[in-house]
């Protein structure tokens, strides 16, 4: 007997053969009743979407790390760090290494073509607040421009300058100031989950 069952949009077909002596019995597939699974609840839909997002984030992080890119997972999404060494000192000009890094990131983003990107610029506290804000803004605009030249649509990129307002380390040491001078590309988690 051949039976069809519709389960979450997939038709499952299986055969059962009854053997009585030397004969077998079967049912025509087109006559078999279709049994439909109950629709997914909103909660189930959100859980499945969240699980897909987690799996996509894991793939992105794995690919980025394999290419030697500094990356971490956060509640906001996947954060890719472009350290200060990828810029000319005190300028927004990308070094050749930075251009290669941004292009590699863009290539990997083909795994998540609909994700929104926040490009966020940060500085240390050396210099004036105004200078640091302008430097961080120039740098994020340059990174956003490079991402756009690789084919990422402008509407998927939000450049944001923070200047010296969001340090991740102390500004009292050279090492801390170096860590604070950065541009981060956040591959944002979807807001509808």
What tens-digit pLDDT sequence spans the chain (193 residues)?
Answer: 444 444 444 444 444 444 444 444 454 555 656 666 667 788 998 999 999 999 999 999 999 999 999 999 999 999 999 887 788 878 999 999 999 999 999 999 988 999 999 999 999 999 999 999 999 999 999 999 999 999 999 999 999 999 999 999 999 999 999 899 999 999 999 755 4
- Record the tokens describing residue 64, joined without a space: 């980025």
Q: What is the pTM of this model?
A: 0.75
146-167: pLDDT as tens digits: 999 999 999 999 999 999 999 9
User: Quick check: 104 and 69 in contact, CB under 8 A?
Assistant: yes
The pLDDT assigned to 84 comes to 75
**Cα–chain center distance at 20:** 58
The pLDDT assigned to 24 comes to 45
The pLDDT assigned to 85 comes to 75
The pLDDT assigned to 21 comes to 46
d(CA 68, CA 45): 35
47-66: pLDDT as tens digits: 999 999 999 999 999 999 99
Please state the φ and ψ torsions of residue 6, each to the nearest 5 degrees.
Answer: -95, 120
The pLDDT assigned to 99 comes to 93
The pLDDT assigned to 4 comes to 46
The pLDDT assigned to 88 comes to 80
The pLDDT assigned to 189 comes to 93
Does an H or E element contain 18, and which?
strand 18-20
The pLDDT assigned to 34 comes to 66
> Crossing angle for the helix pair 96-108 and 42-66, nearest 10 degrees?
150
The pLDDT assigned to 69 comes to 93
Query: Residue 26, exposed/middle/buried by CB under 10 A (0-12, 13-18, 19+)?
Result: exposed
């Amino acid at each position: 007997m051949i039976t069809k069952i519709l389960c979450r949009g997939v038709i499952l077909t299986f055969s059962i053969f009854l053997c009585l002596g030397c004969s077998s019995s079967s049912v025509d597939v087109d006559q078999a009743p279709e049994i439909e699974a109950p629709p997914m609840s909103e909660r189930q839909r959100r859980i499945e979407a969240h699980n897909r997002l987690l799996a996509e984030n894991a793939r992105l992080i794995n690919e980025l790390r394999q290419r030697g890119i500094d990356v971490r997972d956060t509640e906001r999404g996947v954060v890719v760090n472009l350290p200060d060494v990828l810029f000319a000192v005190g300028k927004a000009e990308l070094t050749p290494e930075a251009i290669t890094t941004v292009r590699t990131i863009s290539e990997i983003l083909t795994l998540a073509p609909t994700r929104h990107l926040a490009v966020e610029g940060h500085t240390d506290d050396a210099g004036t607040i105004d200078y640091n804000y302008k430097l961080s803004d120039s740098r994020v605009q340059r990174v956003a421009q490079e991402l756009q030249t690789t084919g990422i649509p402008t509407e998927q990129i939000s450049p944001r300058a923070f200047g010296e307002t969001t340090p991740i380390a102390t500004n009292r040491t050279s090492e801390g100031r170096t860590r604070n001078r950065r541009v981060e590309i956040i591959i944002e988690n979807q807001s509808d989950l």
